[in-house]
Amino acid sequence: MTPVDYDRDLYRTYRTGRALAPDTGGLWMDAIAAYLGRRSARAILDLGAGTGRFSGILADAFGARVVGVEPSAKMREEAERHGAHRDVAYVGGAADAIPAADGEFDFAFLSMVIHHVGDLGACARELRRVLEPGGLVFIRNTFAGRLDRVRYFEFFPEARAADEARLPTVESVRSAFAAHGFELVALDTLEQEIDASLTAHYDRIKQRALSTFALITDAEFQAGLARMRHAADQETIPTPVLEAIDLLVLRRPSAASLLQPKLQ
């Protein structure tokens, strides 16, 4: 896996280039609430919180304290500057070293993070430690082998190939977590409107705020942009751009007797 350094450039464009469309936060909060069976929580972990795109939304949706754990100092600065919320604390840390007490969180949310985690086993071990018994892990991500409904790949075939190579499969994540006692609850796919038109999507994509675009050459990026611009110019009636993102839901074992990791 090629690590992507958010401290180098991506922190500059992330917040605007990855801004959520108006209904998107609610769409994901509703999906989480359906699995929790309630609209409240004590404490939530937003692991790999980035610029805090979901942290305040989580706090508001569940009336909870949120800890946004984020390894990139520059992303944390952006979060503190633009994503400040009285119930959210942004702290340094990473998936294999979560700065939290045992059993501190009702549930964990990982949005577009799991492909950056080098050691899935260490991540599962830490999540098992910091979640309360029976606590859920919500992994919002795209996965290898499931990229057909992401619109910009139509224009950037090299980016799709890079993502197929670096993204984990659902099965690899599930089995890494199963080795630490997590059970599969669900794999859902949510369709979200990312932009109101292809022109708006072009304006977003040209900011190069997706880490995938750090993995292709400048020439490949520019050629993809030209293809996208051309297609956007043909669009006579603005048509919303939809994309499908998966939600993998896992449950931490509830009994202390299950805490011995199974070796696979």
Contact stretch for ligand SAM (CB under 6 A) within 105-113, 160-168, 182-190, 220-228: 105-113
The residue from 29, 44, 50, 141 that contacts ligand SAM (CB under 6 A) is 50
Contact stretch for ligand SAM (CB under 6 A) within 43-51, 172-180, 214-222, 246-254: 43-51
Based on CB atoms, which residue is closest to ligand SAM, 58 or 198?
Answer: 58
CA–CA dist 252, 124 (Å, integer): 9
| CA 181 centroid distance within chain | 22
Q: What is the token pair recorded at 93?
A: 């840390």
The residue from 24, 72, 142, 212 that contacts ligand SAM (CB under 6 A) is 72
Q: Is 253 near ligand SAM (CB under 6 A)? A: no
Q: Is 75 near ligand SAM (CB under 6 A)? A: yes
Helix 120-130 with 170-178: angle, nearest 10 deg: 50
Q: Which helix (H) or strand (E) covers residue 229, if one does?
A: helix 218-234
CB nearest ligand SAM: which residue? 50
Q: Is 6 near ligand SAM (CB under 6 A)? A: yes
Please report how close the Cβ of residue 117 comes to ligand SAM at its closest, in angstroms.
5
Q: Which helix (H) or strand (E) covers residue 75, if one does?
A: helix 73-82
The residue from 25, 53, 107, 155 that contacts ligand SAM (CB under 6 A) is 53
CA–CA dist 17, 177 (Å, integer): 31
* DSSP line for 131-181: EEEEEEEEEEE--TT--TT-GGGGT-HHHHHHHHHHSPPHHHHHHHHHTTT
> What are the residues binding ligand SAM (CB under 6 A)?
6, 18, 47-50, 53-54, 70-72, 75, 94-95, 111-113, 116-117, 211
